[in-house]
Amino acid sequence: MGFVLILSILLAVAYLGMKIVPHYMNYFSISDAINNVVNDPAGSRRSVAAIRSDLKNVLFVNYVEGLKPENLRVLRTGQGKQVVLDYYVVEPIAGNLSVSIHFQRTATIK
C-alpha cells in the first residue's frame, strides 16, 4: 500500500512537471533573447523598431509560442531603452483545476 501511495505521488509530480516545464522553457528562451539584445554593443544606437524586430526574429527561431506582442514591449525611458516582459500563463491540469504562472522581467539597454 505504501508503494502505491509513493508511486501515485511521484506520478502526480511528474504530470505537473510535464505541464509546467514547457512554459518555463519558453520563458528562458525569451530571457536569453532579451539578454542578447541588452548585451549587444550596438543596442543603444538601434531604434525601438529594430530592437523589436530582432526580438521577434530570435523568438521565432527559438520556437517560442503563446507570447502576444503586447506582452513584450520595448520602451524609451530616461535611462535608455527598456525591454519589458510581463505575461501570465494559465495551464489546465484536470477538470476545473489549473495553474497560473506569472512571468515578469525588465531589462535596460544603455
| pLDDT at residue number 64 | 83
DSSP-derived pairing of the beta strands 72-77 and 80-94:
antiparallel
Range of the domain at 103: 2-109
DSSP state letter for 76: E
Number of domains in the chain: 1
Quote the CA–CA distance of 26 and 20 in Å, as a whole number.
10
φ/ψ of 79, rounded to 5, equals -85, -10
**Residue where the block lists cell 500563463:** 89
The band of 21, judged by pLDDT with boundaries at 50, 70 and 90, is: very high
What are the phi and psi torsion angles at 74 (to 5°)? -120, 120
Instruction: Give the list of residues 6+ apart from residue 68 with CB closer than 8 angstroms, or none.
Output: 87
62: pLDDT confidence band, cut at 50, 70 and 90? confident
Whole-prediction pTM: 0.81
